[in-house]
Amino acid sequence: MEIRKLTPEEYLAGEMLESLSFVFPVADDRQEKLEKERYKPDRWGFFDEGGRLAATLTNHDLPVYLDGNIAPARGVGGVASDPASRGQGHVRALFKHILMADRAEGKLVSALYPFSHAFYRKFGYELCYEHKKASFPIGALKAFKPETPPAARMLTPAEGTAALMPIYNAFAKQYSFMAARDEQSWARFAIAEPRKAENYWYVLSQNGQDTAYAVFSFLAGKTPYDRTLWVRDYAFIGKQGLDDLMSFLHRYNGQAKDLQMLLPDNLPLSSLVEDASAIEISVAQRPMARVLHVENILKGMRHPAEDGAYSVYVDDGFLPENTGCYAVRYTKDGAVSVTRCDQKSDLRVSVQAFTQLVFGFLSLEEASYKPDVEIYSNEAALGKVFHKKRLFMLDFY
């Protein structure tokens, strides 16, 4: 058997395997489109002893924010195996290989969107975020009334996405788990000619200063005017940016009946509109993540601005290089030291629960209900370190 990156000539074979695995057709012109795509993630394949591609996945280089800093990370997608040879450990071997490679390259986190949470827990992944999708009549946005209506400009293919980057960066860095998009990441987004567009791209501004942007499309309804405006991507700067964004979307009140968008944890939309019952909140996706390098992520985490210490033992059955006890010391000046230790730890967790604590999806108190979390001592310090954090995520892979 062999595990390696696919060559560009093998990309279509990988997509054909996805087609067999997920039971969907591949378009006749897919090879041509693959060759033209600007953004090309790493595509990996497991080849059996006969040289046949038996499993595949894509690995996107997509760093994420953690406590306001950037953590090197990758996002896994397109995991597929041939139904004819499924159940022989090919996907497991593929994950073992790419996670070890990512760790060796200095990546701290791997994330994915699972078809089954139970399946990916076997590889150390755990639920780390729940997308809150808001659905409501677009007329509810009349409550947002900036003193001056924002100026709006539609982006064209020639302009590209450069204008969006500073708005996105200012918005995204306040949320852990949000993608820290670089120029390569932005290459995933292609702006189409307006007359052919399925997605519309607008930048909003006040007095020449950009305050927000929105990327949206329309989902068909029973009639041409019974459509839903789906906000695929957006960012805003402060309250002014939020008012500009929402008031602009309200302009489509005559072209769509409803609006859907994902909400960050700190946007209390139900409290900002006239009728709270108009806002329906549901969970859209439940992505997973796993820490790849415990020591380095402990060093990169934000700790309390005081002198303190704690120890944590992490069990990682899939990447045993992570397994062990870590003694952490931090100071009011922001210095953090992490060393391996053989003492009895204050806290013992699986790598799955550790990942939830690192990103603040669970507080220490919430995690204490889990069977893979044991708190022995120093609970006051641990509670200050592992607390709920502001989370959001808009990227898919």
Report pLDDT digits (tens) over 36-90: 677 778 999 999 989 899 999 999 998 999 999 999 999 999 999 988 888 899 9
Which residue would you say has higher pLDDT here, 93 or 34? 93
Give me the pLDDT at residue 153, please.
Answer: 96
Which residue would you say has higher pLDDT here, 336 or 193? 336
Evaluate if residue 34 carries a pLDDT over 70.
no
Question: Is 45 within 8 Å of 30 (Cβ atoms)?
Answer: no
Evaluate if residue 135 carries a pLDDT over 70.
yes
Region 251-270: mean pLDDT is 95
Give me the pLDDT at residue 36, please.
Answer: 67
Evaluate if residue 14 carries a pLDDT over 90.
no
Position 32 confidence tier, pLDDT thresholds 50, 70, 90 = low
* Residue in this structure with the two tokens 């064209």, named with its chain if needed: 156
Evaluate if residue 23 carries a pLDDT over 80.
no
Give me the pLDDT at residue 312, please.
Answer: 98
Question: Is 394 within 8 Å of 371 (Cβ atoms)?
Answer: no
Rounded to the nearest integer, the mean pLDDT of the chain is: 93
Sheet containing strand 73-81, strands side by side: 2-5, 42-47, 53-61, 73-81, 109-112, 288-291, 126-127
Region 111-134: mean pLDDT is 97
Position 17 confidence tier, pLDDT thresholds 50, 70, 90 = confident
Position 31 confidence tier, pLDDT thresholds 50, 70, 90 = low
Q: How far apart are CA 355 and CA 364, in angstroms?
A: 12
Q: 133-158 b/e with 16+ CB inside 10 Å = b?
A: bbbbbbbbbeebebeeebbeeebeee
Q: How many CB atoms lie within 10 A of CB 240?
A: 18
- Percent of the chain with pLDDT strictly greater than 70: 98
Report pLDDT digits (tens) over 183-242: 888 988 889 887 777 899 999 999 999 999 999 999 987 777 789 999 999 999 999 999
Report pLDDT digits (tens) over 352-390: 999 999 999 999 999 999 999 999 999 999 999 999 999
The one-character DSSP state at 222 is S
pTM, rounded to two decimals: 0.93
The one-character DSSP state at 391 is B
Question: Is 312 within 8 Å of 168 (Cβ atoms)?
Answer: no
The one-character DSSP state at 366 is H
